Chains A and B, each alone.
Chain A
């Protein structure tokens, strides 16, 4: 054992083990998302990926972000995707059958993304540091100084304009969706009468 290894405390070691376990789970399920041909299985593996990322957030003390990740992506977006698949696919066992050219395009895009991400990670390595080195501030839950309240202050204070712009965008999307859904129903209603 070298001195450097001895310097790592139990906590850091445990955090490391948990981090790499979760990260491996995320990576494996992400691979499964890409390689699986059955669309609902894909969604299931996506759930594991998103859940694993939420676990990483928990490990890094970003509790609010982890909960948001679960609610918005695992509990909301993913369910909507599945719902859309179930409503639109004609054959229940809808499968992906990609053409050779699609696989090629996907591989090229994926490689570019991978290189870009790796470059980003390597260039910022000096700032973020090793996961175990991230400082853990103990939560003083007896007072009202919660990270959540700080987040709320920031969203409705310093970052009010982007926040409001995002909400306006969502409103536009919602109105558009409502309009599209309404238009289709009216047409089918007329056909029924004839």
Chain B
């Protein structure tokens, strides 16, 4: 369905006039005959149906996956009762949350308390409108400020959390909301600057164009364009953890000090809205990172870009559909890998204090990202990079097209090697641990051993 919508507005075909220019009010199927309210209703139905469904499935899968990852990192199996390997645990939890009583504190600001979960959920939902799942699988491909728009709607999400904390009329909730406010406002700056570093290398804010620019194989991905985008990738990752209130930056809901932070007083379905918003936001920031740095929907060999350039003449709709399906699989996989890294961080690192969190932002991440910005602009002036869309404007694997910018090509190849080397090192490390048997059994301490040690020395109380 999205495919049909996007094809009708892809550059090969004439653009629909009028409503197609606006954001959510786009003319989806190019029905020139249909009345405007039918088009509008259709647009809204597609947004609600497709993105609502997609967002729910992603959130439910991520919640289950997070619990599995947490379980395995803590030497326990995680959820394994509902369905094979517990895959339906989230569905069961969802059912439970729907049937639970919807508690409302007596002294809460009732109207705001009820409204806050939607306020936290809606901006994330709005961000899905421009996420490029494939070169044509985008709801609004023409939004010129795509990535900036996502940043803008995500910045409104804070308001929902603050409202929830305030309306609850509870100490813990308000502390959580205040931490959220200062943390998100501060981390938005390094987040934005590290995005700008990537955008400067590409020269566009449009999500689809960002993807198209990286279609020529792994060496054209923006993370490998210059050393500064390579560093900005990691700066963005840290800042996105903080702006998503993910551990180690989950101060707004730190359960050891604030019960559950801003959602202490929430129960039932309203609580699950916050949960869904959090996991959907993880997918959105992962999607931005994949689009901006990791080549969006493109594979490392530029195959998708090659065939897309071939098929985008308006006569190969079926081939384009298949290509887009494969592309969206790649895009979702990349976003999921980033989400896995976020989970990995969460279950590995301890939670810092709020002043340490702000120190890390203002005195470490912010100067670092400013230096990256400066460096990236100098790099653009001095070295430059190969402009244009791979396979359309130049051949990414032919030396003749790179001869004008040899330093850029050399940098890109070296950075690719560094990146792949890092990945290989991690894979070897994990593989070594797996093969030599440093798995669950050896990491678990034998209880008999502990008991005998206690018998010898007596229990140690500190």
Contacts and interface: CB of A to CB of B under 8 A. Distances in A.
B169 A92 contact: yes
A139 B145 CA distance: 12
A146 interface: yes
Interface string B36-50: 110110000000000
Contact of B162 (A64, A79, A139): A79
A80 B209 contact: no
Given A67-B149, A86-B174, A78 B181 contact: no
B144 A15 contact: no
B21 interface: yes
Contact of B18 (A11, A64, A70, A92): A11
Contact of B156 (A74, A141, A148): A74
B159 A74 contact: yes
Given A47-B159, A74-B159, A67 B148 contact: yes
Contact of A83 (B11, B22, B112, B181): B181
A147 interface: yes
B258 interface: no
Interface of chain A: mostly helix, strand, loop or mixed: helix
B153 interface: yes
A39 to B, nearest CB: 10
Interface in B172-226: 174, 177-178, 181-182, 184-185, 188, 203-206, 208-209
B158 interface: yes
A117 interface: no
Contacts of B184: 79
A9 B18 contact: yes
A38 B364 CA distance: 38
B151 interface: yes
Contact of A148 (B35, B142, B145, B155): B145
B109 A83 contact: no
Contact of A64 (B21, B148, B153, B185): B148
A120 interface: no
Interface residues of B, number: 48
Contacts of A15: 18-19, 22
A44 B203 CA distance: 36
Contacts of A76: 155, 185, 188
Interface string A1-44: 00000000111111101100000000000000000001011001
Given A139-B142, A146-B205, A11 B36 contact: yes
Given A9-B18, A11-B18, A76-B185, A51 B144 contact: no
A11 B32 CA distance: 10
13 contacts: A13-B36, A15-B22, A40-B166, A58-B23, A66-B152, A67-B145, A67-B151, A74-B156, A78-B159, A136-B21, A142-B11, A144-B204, A148-B144
Interface of A: 9-15, 17-18, 38, 40-41, 44, 47, 51, 54, 58-59, 61, 63-64, 66-71, 74-76, 78-80, 82-83, 86-87, 92, 136, 138-139, 141-142, 144, 146-149
Interface of B: 11, 15, 17-19, 21-23, 25, 35-37, 39-40, 109, 112, 141-145, 148-149, 151-153, 155-156, 158-159, 162-163, 166, 169, 174, 177-178, 181-182, 184-185, 188, 203-206, 208-209
